[in-house]
Amino acid sequence: MIWPEPIILASGSQRRKQLLRSAGWKVFVQPAHVDDGQLNSRDIPARAWVAAMAWLKARSVMLQQFPGELAGGTILAADTVCDLDGEIIGQPPDIESARDMISRFRNRSHRVTTGVCLLRTDGCCRRIFTDTANVSLGDLSDDMISEYLVTNAWQGKAGGYNLFERVADGWPLEWTGDESTIVGLPMRRLQSMLGSSSEREDQG
């Protein structure tokens, strides 16, 4: 296998960890020492930005010390942003920024792009790719936005929302593409690269 277990997730995201574990992968969390909130994307296209951020995060983890059980594993780093008319929209720093983001999304479509970097702990193999999905938000009322914002569920989420949570709460959302890309990890493409749990059992 090119990408051996365990997977070392370069993120504290519970959503990403859950997606990987649900697919049958053994996952350890080792957050990267990269604060993307301190960086400015300027006019960089969304695909280039998330690819660069995923690589920086993976490299940060590779340079850390690994306990014996993680040596020889695969680092997985990811970054997700929204793209509205060519403007990159990341995680809102405060409640008013979250309100502005969600209000701008109303009655329009935006793109959500996730970049992924797979990196062997010894640095011998690297793969970077991106995946994009399109999301449309309908006529969400001001009251619904305000009720959502006070829950603080917008924190730590690109564009200020999580697709699955908002659909369950009745938001008028539609999308095309891989829904897991929208929540932070393009599992359709990842599973084709990493292999299913049954394939790994056969190889073992």
142 is annotated as an active-site residue: no
Q: Please state the rounded mean pLDDT for residues 79-87.
A: 94
Catalytic position from the list 35, 36, 43, 79 = 79
Structural domains of the chain, with CATH: 7-203 (3.90.950.10)
pLDDT digits (tens, 9 = 90+) for 57-72: 999 999 987 777 788 8
Position 198 scores a pLDDT of 42
Residue 204 clears pLDDT 90, i.e. is over it: no
Position 117 scores a pLDDT of 97
The residue among 23, 17, 18, 15 whose CA lies nearest residue 190 is 23
Map residue 180 onto helix, strand or coil: helix
Q: Provide the pLDDT confidence category of residue 112 given band limits of 50, 70 and 90.
A: very high
Position 64 scores a pLDDT of 86
Residue 169 clears pLDDT 60, i.e. is over it: yes
Spatial distance between the Cα atoms of 73 and 19, rounded to a whole number of angstroms: 18
Burial class (CB in 10 A: 0-12, 13-18, 19+), 166: buried
Burial class (CB in 10 A: 0-12, 13-18, 19+), 137: buried
For 42: left if phi > 0, alpha if psi spans -120 to 50, otherwise beta; the answer is left
Q: Provide the pLDDT confidence category of residue 182 given band limits of 50, 70 and 90.
A: very high
Q: Are 81 and 60 in contact (CB under 8 A)?
A: no
Lowest mean pLDDT among 3-7, 94-98, 109-113: 3-7
pLDDT digits (tens, 9 = 90+) for 35-45: 666 666 677 89
